[in-house]
Every structure is written in C-alpha cells, then in structure tokens.
Amino acid sequence: MEKLVIHGGHKLCGSVKASGSKNSALPLMAAALLCCHGEIKLSHIPDLKDIRTFNKLLGYLGAETSYAENILSISTSNIRCVQAPYELVKQMRASIYVLGPLLARFGHASVSLPGGCAFGPRPIDLHLMAMEKLGASVTIEKGFIEATIQGTRLKGAAIDFPITSVGATGNALMAAVLAEGKTTIRNAAVEPEIVTLCRFLNAMGADVRGTGTPSLEIEGVETLNATEFTNIFDRIEAATLLTAGAITGSTITVTDVNPSQLTTILTKFEEAGCKVITDTDAITLESPDVLVRSDVIANPYPLFPTDMQAQWIALMTQAEGVSHVIDKIYHERFNHIPELNRLGAHIEIRDNEAMVHGPRQLTGTKVMSTDLRASASLVLAGLVAEGVTEVLRIYHLDRGYERIEQKLNSLGAAIARDSYQEFA
C-alpha cells in the first residue's frame, strides 16, 4: 500500500491549477453509452483511480477508449454486454450511472449493487423509481439490479423526487433523453455537475430544457450523435486547495476555476477571516493572522457541500472558538474525526453535529483514511501539524484528487509518497 508522509509547518505560496471534475466526468463517460456511432472526445478529464475504474467498466461493456493528456476518447458502437459486474461496480458507487444509458439504448441493463465510500447508507431507491416511472420493470436478483423495457423504448413520464439526488437526477436524465415522449423531472439536482451533463446531452442532440433549475423537461429523441466536449473544473479539489492555504496561514491562488460555483464556500472563508479575491478564472485566498470560527451545515448545492465538510472540520481546528458542523446529506460522515483527534484535535460529536474546539496545536502521527474526503482532511491537518504525519490507505485519496501531493509541494509543502506494509 501507499501512504503520504507530511512534514508539517511549511507556509504555502504561489499558484496552482484546478483539475477537471471527477464528479462531472463520470456521468459524462456514462452518457457516451447513449451514442451508437462515432467517437466522443472529452477534454479536461482528470487522471484518477475512479476514472480508470469507470474506463475499465466501459471496456468490459465493449467500448473502445483511449486516454492521453487529460483527453478521453470513447467509441461505444460495439457494445456487446449490458451487465456491469460486481468486481468493478464494488469499487465505486458511480458505476450505477450506467443503468439509465444501457436501459435506454438496449432495453435491458444488469448492474451489480454498488460499493464505494464506507460511510452511511446511500440508497439507490430513487434511481430505481425513476426507471420504473419511465416504464421499466426493475427487480433485484442475486445482488444485481435487473431492468427491462416493455416494448422498444422507454416512455416519457413525470418523475418527482421526494429528496434531491445528484445521482438519481443524472440517471433519470440519461434514460429520458432516448425515451418516447416528454419527461419532466421535479426536485432535480442543480449542481454544476448536473448542469454540465445537461449541456453534454444537448450537444449530442438531446432536447433538455430547464438546465440549472429544479424542473427539467426532456423531449425524447431517437438517436444521439458523437461530439467533443470540455469538462468543468473540480470545485471540491479547488476548495480543498484553498483550505490548504487557509489552514497554513498562507496566501495562494487557484486558477482554471469558475468562482461562481464556489460562492457559498468562499463566503465561509471570509467569515473565518480570510480575504478572498476572485477573477474571471482564478481565486486568491489571503489568510488572516487569526482564524475565527465559522459554522457550516452541509446541504445540496448551492449551499455548503457535504464533500467539503471533512476539510472544513480540519480547518476549524485552527480557528478561535467552538465551531459547529452539521451534515444533512450523510448523517454518518464523521469517520475522520477520531483520526483528527489522534493528531491532537478536540472534536466532539452529538446527534450528527460536530463541535470543533480551537485553536489546537496538532502533532504528527500515523492516521488512517476511511473515505475520499476524510483522506483530504487528514492531509490538511498534516500540513499544520508539528512533526511528521503519515496518512495511510491513500487509495481513497487517489480516487478523487489528481496528484495532490505534487500540487501542494509546488506551493511549498513537504509531502512524499511512500510504500508500506499494512500488517507488517
């Protein structure tokens, strides 16, 4: 296995580029399954473990792909299989995204129940409900979702989600674009990743209206065409890098971004005492002499994202006062807190609320990653901890951050990647 060895206490300075969005790239890759002919070219695709896993899944289904310099080419004209196997799906929950496209194009899909980060239940009921609304027969047999169309095409329908779900919205969109007739999706997710998926589907010839709103209307078409498309930046990676600047009392700039997609997070940085300067495609963060507490409640976009909750808790260990952090998306997403406490933090949990007492001088030790964003919080804590911090099981980190140690080192951090034996 691999670990990151972090020598804490270094100030950061300079500029770093944000990578392409993982959470946007994965549904774009799945949507390529809807195209019968030609080659789709996706630019600004990050080199990540999740991307490689999803690429393997596409290859298993029969797609032909090539990847170089963050450009992914996909041809799905020779798809020969509609079953997504457990061996690949267990590695990432986003594999569920192939359900809608396979069902819409081939009339049948067999997808293993998904795996992914180990925190709390994330039910797939909304995905299945959307497929059933569109006319599919859905059962779960021997650990697989079996979905079949009655007839030749899915039928347009009204889909009303009881709660907002990015994944279910994406799956419903991809199924509906080839359905016969009109589909409406109410309480649709409005995250930039869904907006980007809508734009991509329309670029292929779909008819999706209401992009960026909770009410989407889709008029089904018979076929979609190959196209070239550029992915958006990773707003969670960009915010994590800005947090690295804030936690180390530094001034840094993150480029290749769209600041409007980070409005809530940037406001929180300002509440914590940071100065934030935005340009068309860049954000500069200047840290204060003393960070002050800033409470957050993780909610769907455009509010504070659950994917930044762990990193914010790490930051608040250095702020004056007691900060309160609540996650209303995933109620058990606090596995990073015991590890942060091992570094010397003072964080309590009561009824899905984390109370972070600061500021605390953290001290380096060995800590273990439990999921993707928890890993990032431990790296951030290691940057400010006294001595050496070893973050173990960084395969979680590699799922969603492209060369993060290289990016932080370019700003002045001292991080090395090394191998270790888990139970030596």
User: Does 121 carry a binding-site annotation?
Assistant: no
User: Does 329 carry a binding-site annotation?
Assistant: yes
User: Does 378 carry a binding-site annotation?
Assistant: no
Is residue 214 within 8 Å of residue 258, measured between CB atoms?
Answer: no
Q: Quote the CA–CA distance of 22 and 399 in Å, as a whole number.
A: 9
**Considering only CA atoms, which of 336, 329, 331 is closest in space to residue 313?**
336
Catalytic residue among 13, 36, 81, 117: 117
CA dihedral over 10, 393, 265, 25, signed as positive or negative: positive
User: Does 123 carry a binding-site annotation?
Assistant: yes
Angle between helices 166-176 and 192-203 (to 10 degrees): 10
User: Does 125 carry a binding-site annotation?
Assistant: yes
Enter the tokens of residue 36.
Answer: 């019968």
Q: Quote the CA–CA distance of 97 and 100 in Å, as a whole number.
A: 7
User: Does 105 carry a binding-site annotation?
Assistant: no
Q: Quote the CA–CA distance of 188 and 168 in Å, as a whole number.
A: 9
Whether 198 sits among the annotated catalytic residues: the reply is no
User: Does 235 carry a binding-site annotation?
Assistant: no
Amino acid in the structure at residue 165: S
* CA torsion angle 306 162 209 133 (round to 10): 130
Query: CA geometry: angle at 267 spanning 333 and 119, to 5°?
Result: 5
The DSSP annotation for 304-334 comes to --GGGHHHHHHHHTTEEEEEEEEESS-TT--
User: Does 307 carry a binding-site annotation?
Assistant: yes
Enter the tokens of residue 200.
Answer: 């991509």
User: Does 397 carry a binding-site annotation?
Assistant: no
User: Does 71 carry a binding-site annotation?
Assistant: no
Three-state DSSP at 342 gives helix
Catalytic site positions: 117
**Which residues belong to the annotated binding site for UDP-N-acetyl-alpha-D-glucosamine?**
93, 122-126, 307, 329
Q: Which residues are annotated as a binding site?
A: 22-23, 93, 122-126, 307, 329
Binding-site members for phosphoenolpyruvate are 22-23
